[in-house]
Amino acid sequence: DAGVTQSPTHLIKTRGQHVTLRCSPISGHKSVSWYQQVLGQGPQFIFQYYEKEERGRGNFPDRFSARQFPNYSSELNVNALLLGDSALYLCASSFSSGLYNEQFFGPGTRLTVL
Amino acid sequence: QQQVKQSPQSLIVQKGGISIINCAYENTAFDYFPWYQQFPGKGPALLIAIRPDVSEKKEGRFTISFNKSAKQFSLHIMDSQPGDSATYFCAATRETSGSRLTFGEGTQLTVNP
C-alpha cells in the first residue's frame, strides 16, 4: 500500500512569492496534519484538517492556509514568503480525529526561499 | 514556548552499547508520549509510545521509561546497531487534541560499527 505522498519533493522560491504544497493521505485516512520542520529542530504543528474542516491551528501567521478536498487530499498555501519559511514541510495522515490516532508522515517537501 | 525539551542534541555510541535520550515536558495535560525515528530524506516514523499510567514500556530493543512526578521520559535503545543511526524525536500530545503533536528538538544518534 502507498504511504503518504507529497509533492513537489523540492521547491525553490524567492521572497514575496506564493507556494502551494500538496499531500495525499493513506487510503482510508480522513485526517491530514501539516508540520514545519526547520533544519536542526523538531517539527512544529501548523494545521489539522478532518472531513474538510479545520480542527486545529498552530502558532503560525495568517500567511499560512490550508484546505482539504473531498478525496481527503490537502494543500498547504503560504503567501508572501519570507526567508524564515525555508524548511521541510511534512504532511501526516491518520484515520480519524478526536482521540489520538497514529500519524503516518510523508517524506516532506523541502522549501527553500531565496 | 518550548514545551518539550530533549537532550542530548547528538549522541555517539559503539555498536552493542546502550543509547539513552531524555525528554522533559511542561504541560501536565499531556497524556500520550510517542517517540519518532527519522532517517535522512524520510518523514518521522512512530517507534514506540507510552501513556502516563505506566512507568515503562518495552518493545524489542526499545524501552520508554516514564516519570510522571518529574515530568520526564526517556528512550533506551539496547544493543544499539549501526542501522539505528538516525534522528530521534520525543513528542507529547493530549489524546483529545487529535493529531497535534508537540515535538522535542531531536537527537542525532550515530552508532559506530
For B28: left if phi > 0, alpha if psi spans -120 to 50, otherwise beta; the answer is alpha
pLDDT tens for B12-36 read 999 999 999 999 999 999 989 999 9
Q: Which amino acid is at A33?
A: S
pLDDT tens for A15-65 read 999 999 999 999 999 999 999 999 989 999 999 999 899 988 999 999 999
Mutate to test the interface with B, among A49, A97, A103 (most CBs of B within 10 A): A103
- Measuring CA to CA, which residue among A8, A33, A1 is closest to residue A22? A8
| Per-residue model confidence (pLDDT) at position A102 | 84
As a dihedral over the C-alpha atoms of residue B47, residue B52, residue B53, residue B58, rounded to 10 degrees, the angle is 30
Cβ pair A105:B43 closer than 8 A: yes
- pLDDT tens, position by position, for chain B (113 residues)? 558 999 999 999 999 999 999 999 999 999 899 999 999 989 999 999 998 889 999 999 999 999 999 999 999 999 999 999 999 999 999 877 767 899 999 999 999 99
Cβ pair B106:A41 closer than 8 A: yes
Whole-angstrom CA distances from A50 to A91, A98, B104 are: 13, 10, 25
Cβ pair B99:A42 closer than 8 A: no
Chain A residues touching residue B42 (CB < 8 angstroms): 107
